[in-house]
């Protein structure tokens, strides 16, 4: 799926939804509740969804559609193992943080 198709799907209001259970420390939830109205959100759950979506868009751009994805595809084409690629990806992510 191209990035254009993925964005069109994400903008659709009638996408199927699922419920999940997520354990989050109480102090984090309290902080979300404080920050949500300051960022223009109706509540902490909307802010939390935005944070997830924002992080997901960033990672999709990098790992699915960006230069990193093209590099990974080129390495696989040249026979570099999936395990080695995953190890190198983790290592570069740790160095970036």
Counts for the chain of helices (H) and strands (E), in that order: 5, 0
Chain segment 25-78, per-residue pLDDT in tens: 999 999 999 999 999 999 999 999 999 989 988 888 777 777 777 888 889 899
In a domain, 2, yes or no: no
Q: Does some domain include residue 48?
A: yes
Is residue 53 located within the same domain as residue 74? no
**Tokens standing for residue 31:** 């902080």
* Domain assignment of residue 77, given as a range: 67-97
Q: What is the pLDDT of residue 2?
A: 64
Q: Who's near 77: CB < 8 A, 6+ residues apart? A: none
Gap between the Cα atoms of 85 and 76, Å rounded? 8
* Percentage of residues of the chain with pLDDT beyond 90: 46
Distance CA 24, CA 55 (A): 17
Q: Are residues 59 and 77 in the same domain?
A: no
Report the predicted TM-score, pTM, of the whole model to 2 decimal places. 0.60
Phi and psi at residue 61, in whole multiples of 5°? -60, -40
């Amino acid at each position: 799926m191209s990035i254009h198709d993925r964005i069109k799907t994400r903008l659709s209001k009638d996408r199927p939804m699922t419920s999940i259970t997520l354990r989050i420390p109480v102090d984090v939830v309290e902080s979300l509740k404080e920050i949500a109205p300051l960022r223009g959100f109706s509540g902490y759950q909307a802010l939390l969804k935005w944070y997830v979506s924002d992080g997901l868009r960033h990672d999709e751009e990098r790992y699915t559609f960006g230069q990193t994805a093209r590099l990974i595809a080129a390495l696989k084409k040249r026979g570099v193992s999936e395990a080695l690629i995953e190890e190198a990806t983790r290592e570069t992510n740790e160095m970036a943080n």
